[in-house]
Amino acid sequence: MNDTRSAHQQASTTVPSREARTARIAPAFNRHGVWAIYRWEMARAMRTLWQSVATPVITTSLYFVVFGSAIGSRMQQVEGVPYGSFIVPGLIMLALFTQSLSNASFGIYFPRFTGTIYELLSAPVSYAEIVLGYVGAAATKSIVLGLVILATAAAFVPIQIAHPLWMIAFLVLISVTFSLFGFVIGLWAEGFEQLQFIPALIVTPLAFLGGAFYSIDMLPPAWRTVSLFNPVVYLISGFRWAFFEQADVRVGISLAMTLAFFLLCLGVVRWMFRTGYRLRN
């Protein structure tokens, strides 16, 4: 009888319970690892804080001097909105596109360039946590930059936001989406030239041709149809709707296109980590 009881006790001490097995199979979220990556990336931005703040302020001021004075004196309003106020959402989006791409792409490319990416991949941090740390830091910097540009623009023109919650939602969603896109570029690039190729030669021209400083309704019908194939049009249009309740395309379509681009970038990042694309060599 005693032998049977001791055998049961030994089995209970050697065989883990169902809860213990479940806890072992499903590891907990490594918030310390995510926070370490996030804090490191934010510290890198803080080292160039003056440059990060002064550059968008000066650039925004120059845009208002050039576009607001030169063009605004000849084109007073666009769809009932003063031209100086009309270009504010486009200015914010232009900065958001470029900064999200550059912050996220350089953030992940530099560890690849120095070889420290292997230490990160061997650390007890999952792929999702790595993406969350890098993309979260890049999106945070872009959001702060967008708010700085908004405050700078308010010193030049009156700004009214018809839907503040939708404005914040579009701001966060677009920042995260383009940070994911920049993360993809950082994994894909094999040199600093490729790192700058897509932002400089593809994204920036698409932003200028996507209605950042004008409404595509002002274009001839044929060119307006061509502009609808530009995905940036939908992002800028949805963000501008949050300010003035006026958009080149319906806000539901803009939101759907933004979410589709977000899911596409998320799927590409997942495929890159699953296959080890540009990470194993």
Q: Find, among 222, 225, 87, 218, the residue nearest to 157 by Cα.
A: 87
Predicted confidence at residue 13, as pLDDT, reads 43
At 7, the pLDDT band (50, 70, 90 cuts) reads very low
Q: Is the distance from CB of 244 to CB of 81 less than 8 angstroms?
A: yes
In the structure encoding, which two tokens stand for residue 15, read together?
Answer: 């065989």
**What integer is the mean pLDDT of 6-33?**
52
Spatial separation of the C-alpha atoms in residues 124 and 32, rounded to whole Å: 10
Q: Is the distance from CB of 265 to CB of 180 less than 8 angstroms?
A: yes
Predicted confidence at residue 19, as pLDDT, reads 41
Q: Is the distance from CB of 185 to CB of 195 less than 8 angstroms?
A: yes
The mean of the pLDDT values for the chain is: 84
Q: Is the distance from CB of 128 to CB of 273 less than 8 angstroms?
A: no
Write down the residue that tokens 């060599």 correspond to: 281
Query: Cβ atoms within 10 A of the Cβ of 78, count?
Result: 19
Integer angstrom CA distances of residue 221 from 61, 134, 238: 33, 42, 21
Question: Looking at the predicted structure, is the pLDDT value of residue 101 above 80?
Answer: yes
**What integer is the mean pLDDT of 221-230?**
91
Predicted confidence at residue 16, as pLDDT, reads 42
Integer angstrom CA distances of residue 258 from 85, 134, 265: 23, 20, 11
**Which carries the bigger pLDDT value, residue 171 or residue 278?**
171
Question: Looking at the predicted structure, is the pLDDT value of residue 102 above 70?
Answer: yes
Where on the phi/psi map is residue 103: left (φ > 0), alpha (ψ -120 to 50), or beta?
alpha
Spatial separation of the C-alpha atoms in residues 175 and 210, rounded to whole Å: 17
Predicted confidence at residue 131, as pLDDT, reads 93
Question: Looking at the predicted structure, is the pLDDT value of residue 180 above 60?
Answer: yes
At 64, the pLDDT band (50, 70, 90 cuts) reads confident
**What integer is the mean pLDDT of 110-125?**
86
Predicted confidence at residue 120, as pLDDT, reads 86
Predicted confidence at residue 47, as pLDDT, reads 81
Predicted confidence at residue 278, as pLDDT, reads 79
Predicted confidence at residue 24, as pLDDT, reads 37
In the structure encoding, which two tokens stand for residue 82, read together?
Answer: 């003063």
- Phi/psi of residue 245, nearest 5 degrees: 60, 30
**pLDDT tens digits, one per residue of 122-163:** 888 888 999 999 999 999 999 999 998 898 888 888 888 999
Report the share of the chain in percent with pLDDT over 70: 86
**What integer is the mean pLDDT of 244-267?**
93
Predicted confidence at residue 280, as pLDDT, reads 67
**pLDDT tens digits, one per residue of 66-93:** 776 666 666 777 878 888 888 899 989 9
